[in-house]
Every structure is written in C-alpha cells, then in structure tokens.
C-alpha cells in the first residue's frame, strides 16, 4: 500500500515514514524543507528498499491540499494510507502572538488537515479501502493559557476524526486520531535537560515509539489512540479537573523551562 506522510522530514513525521517503510509500504513524503525531504527519501529508500518519493510543498499555502491531491491524481498515485502529521507548536499568549503565526497553525491543523481528509478519504471510499491517521494531542482535553490556539485546533482534529470514523467506516475507510502527550522532539522548545527528565519520568515519549503505537492503532481501525498508560489513565482524567491555581502555576513553569 502507498502511504502519504506530511511533515515527514523530521520529528514525528519522519518516524511515521520510517516505520511505514519498515513495514514494507512505499511512500510519498511531503515537507516544506526542500533539501531535507530529498535527503530523507534517499535515506529511507537505501535503508528499507521501498519506493520513497519526496515532495516539497508548503501545506499552509492556500489550496495546498487540492494541489497535493491533483499531483497524486496526475502521477496516478493511489494513496491508501494518509498520515496528516504536518503541524507547528508555540507557547505564547494570544495577544503576544503574530497574526501570521496564528494563521499558520489554523491553516495546517484545521484547513489543510480537513481538506486532505476529505479529498484523499473520498478517493479511498470510492475504492472501498483505506486508512487515515490524524495527529491530535492530549492537549485536546486541556484548558491551558499559552497554547490556546494549539489545544483548540487539536481538539478540532480529535472531534472531526471521531465523527468521520462513523462516516467513513461503512465505506471501508477508517479515521484514527492519535493523541500523544509530550513527545521527545524539539517542537516544544524545552531545554535538553528537561527533555531527558520528561522521558525518564514517562511524561514524554520517544517519537519512534509513538509512531509504532499510532500506526498499530490506525491499522486496527481505532477511532482514537492515547499512547502511554500514564497519559490515558492518569493525565487525561486529571487535566479535566485541574483547579485554576494549578493551571497558572504550570503556565509559569513552562515559561521557565523554555530556555
């Protein structure tokens, strides 16, 4: 099966691409990092022996999903696995965040992800088979100052995916929302020390481990997956009921760690 992975030149997207290649799937990998995505495709092909086509695209651009779908149609690429992973993260109060950064997050997490799911999911449904993985986050359950746009868009992805699971499943297509806690990448801007601490405590998960668990859930056609027992059974029930003073304390601590 041919898999399309967005944001595949680094971080979680790269791990999704590598894990799919390890399982024998040919790939179309997309990123807005032109040099890196070409190098990634070459490395994956060399290591796993699968076909791996790199494509440089800015998925936050207007009409990006439609252009990508048209590219696949022109090249006669039947995408049977779609991993909507491209995204951004920043920790900043809303009024201190530029309009450009806000629009970037909204376009990637909401507009492009929605249109990608509609276009590629529709083509899968016509063929009667397919898998879609949308990257949400455990923050979809959180009310946290400083990441208000991020957790709101991840909540959108979670609820959209859960709803679309019911729409697509009768047509042979599953939609899975993967909702990790912290992942050990540079996305969050934490110092190396706090990244190591988070992994040791089980709060943060290595991206290669997340990729395996996310894909396992997708191939089992689950509506959602929250990798890590501590996230699923402790943190999610806890964060729904955090008192206000705790939220303010965590917000201050996060600002200190991002140094």
Compute the half-sphere exposure of residue 18: CA atoms within 13 Å on the CB side of its CA: 17
Helices H, strands E: what count in the chain?
11, 9
Q: What is the largest distance, in Å, between two alpha-carbon atoms of the chain?
A: 55
Compute the half-sphere exposure of residue 155: CA atoms within 13 Å on the CB side of its CA: 12
- State the CB neighbour count (10 A cutoff) for residue 152: 17
- CB distance 207 to 185 below 8 Å: yes
Q: Is 238 exposed, middle or buried (0-12, 13-18, 19+ CB in 10 A)?
A: exposed
Residue in the structure block whose two tokens are 């691409």: 17
- CB distance 15 to 211 below 8 Å: yes
Q: Give CA 195 to chain center in angstroms.
A: 19
150 is catalytic: yes
Q: Which of 56, 150, 166, 188 is catalytic?
A: 150
- The encoded tokens of residue 113 equal 């992800």
Residues carrying an active site annotation:
150
């Amino acid at each position: 099966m041919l898999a399309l992975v967005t944001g595949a030149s680094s971080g979680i997207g790269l791990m999704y691409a590598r894990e799919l290649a390890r399982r024998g799937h040919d790939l179309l990998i997309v990123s807005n990092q032109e040099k890196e995505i070409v190098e990634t495709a070459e490395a994956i092909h060399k290591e796993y022996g699968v076909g791996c086509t790199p494509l440089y695209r800015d998925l936050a651009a207007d009409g990006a999903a439609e252009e990508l779908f048209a590219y696949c149609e022109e090249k006669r690429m039947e995408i049977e696995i779609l991993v909507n992973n491209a995204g951004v993260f920043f920790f900043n109060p809303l009024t201190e965040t530029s309009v450009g950064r806000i629009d970037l997050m909204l376009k990637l997490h909401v507009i492009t992800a929605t249109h990608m799911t509609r276009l590629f999911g529709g083509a899968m449904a016509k063929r009667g088979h397919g898998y879609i993985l949308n990257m949400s986050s455990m923050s979809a359950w959180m009310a946290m100052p400083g990441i208000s746009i991020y957790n709101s868009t991840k909540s959108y992805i979670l609820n959209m995916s859960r709803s679309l699971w019911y729409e697509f499943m009768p047509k042979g297509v599953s939609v899975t929302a993967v909702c990790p806690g912290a992942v050990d990448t540079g996305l969050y801007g934490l110092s190396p020390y706090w990244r190591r601490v988070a992994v040791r405590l089980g709060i943060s998960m290595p991206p290669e481990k997340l990729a395996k668990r996310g894909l396992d859930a997708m191939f089992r056609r689950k509506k959602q997956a929250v990798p890590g027992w501590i996230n699923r059974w402790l943190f999610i029930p806890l964060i729904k009921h955090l008192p206000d003073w705790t939220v303010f304390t965590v917000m201050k601590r996060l600002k200190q760690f991002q140094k």
